[in-house]
Structure 1
Amino acid sequence: MASATRSLPILSLQAAEAAASASQQKAKELGIDVNIAIVDSTLHLLHFTRMPTAKLTSISIAINKAFTAAGHRLPTSHYNSPTFFPGGVGWGIQYSNGGRFCTLTGGVPILVEGEVVGAIGVSSGSAGEDVQVAEAGMRAVEGMVGRARGAKL
């Protein structure tokens, strides 16, 4: 018989804080200030950091990048293809979800044991910088999982 419920793995606050810290460190290495948003697998904001000179208009963009990456379980860079440009079959997706769907690069899902547990969205740098900063946060969570596995052995 099929189950009527499902357990959903959710990113912890501790992991979100580790991701934010690693992302801030990467941003400092790159010499930029960014907005860093981390959502859990329910798409709700879990942690937010605005570095001192990060663009104020990028706050909602960072949050929406994280929302999109977690909700679709794909990096937002996936939407930087002709399919999603004017005339493409995916054009208009950016207007979905109350305008929260973000096609800008810089949103990265966070996976634990193959399941999306949340996502990180970064905005205020260039597209490449945003990705580098987001991936640093993602790797910090992966590192926590690896250390936890090692401790269990």
Structure 2
Amino acid sequence: MQMKPVLGIAEATRILDAARDEAQRNGWAVAIAVVDDGGHPLALARLDGTAPVSSYISQEKARTAALGRRESKAYEDMINGGRTAFLSAPLVATLEGGVPVIVDGQVVGAVGVSGVKSDQDAQVAKAGANSIAA
């Protein structure tokens, strides 16, 4: 039987707090979602002033990163590079801003962020993911 680490509420909260700190340090109004390795929601925060749709998009970016086991930007790059077949993949948010959380070489979840420019979303998501990644 294989064993791997699993995100609990303590880790999800630490990820959310680190991402929120990064967003607030930069004055960015974003939504931040943390999901488990199956893309199921563990935590969500929509900072003051963030558009409601960002909550949905952040969850889908996180789900994409968790299920795909890679940053959501990889899918955006593939599609922009001409691999339009990925448009039919069962992933809703193939945009930059979803980052997997990796512990001991295993994807244990992901962080998705939406609300500012895509590279800024990714910066916030990486701050969250790096708060527990090993």
1:90 counterpart (85, 89, 92):
85
Normalised by the size of structure 2, how large is the TM-score?
A: 0.90
Instruction: Determine if contact 1:106/1:134 at 8 Å carries over to the other structure.
Output: yes
- Equivalences, count: 134
| Partner deviation per Cα, 1:65-113 (whole Å, 9 max, x = no partner) | 01010001000010122x424963534235x2xxx53111000000000
What is the aligned partner in structure 2 of residue 114 from structure 1?
A: 105
TM-score by length of 1: 0.80
User: Root-mean-square deviation (CA), in Å?
Assistant: 1.9
Say which one has the larger Rg.
Answer: 1
1:12 to partner: Cα distance: 1.3
Match of 1:42 in 2: 38
What are structure 2's unaligned runs of at least 5 residues?
Answer: none
- What is the DSSP-based 3-state SS (H/G/I as helix, E as strand, rest coil) of the residue aligned with 1:102? coil
Map residues 18-57 of structure 1 onto 2, 5 A cutoff.
Answer: 18-57=14-53
Q: Cα gap change, 1:92/1:133 in structure 2, threshold over 3 Å: closer, same or farther?
A: same
Deviation at 1:42, TM superposition (A): 2.4
Provide closer, same or farther for how the CA distance between residues 91 and 40 of structure 1 changes in structure 2, counting only shifts above 3 A.
Answer: closer
Q: What amino acid sits opposite 2:108 in the alignment?
A: V
Measured in 1, the distance between the counterparts of 2:82 and 2:27 equals 38
Q: Which runs of 5+ in 1 are unaligned?
A: 146-153
Q: Equivalents in 2 of 1:112, 1:28: separation in Å?
A: 26
The 5 A counterparts of 1:2-151 are: 6-7=2-3, 9-81=5-77, 83-85=78-80, 88-93=83-88, 96=90, 100-142=91-133
1:29-51 deviation line (CA, Å, top 9, x unaligned) = 11111100000112210001110
SS of residue matched to 2:125: helix
Is the CA contact (8 Å cut-off) linking 1:69 and 1:119 kept in structure 2?
yes
State percent identity of aligned pairs.
34
* 1:50 and 1:59 in contact (8 A); partners too: yes
Whether the 8 Å CA contact 2:75–2:86 is kept in 1: the answer is: no
* Aligned twin of 1:148: none
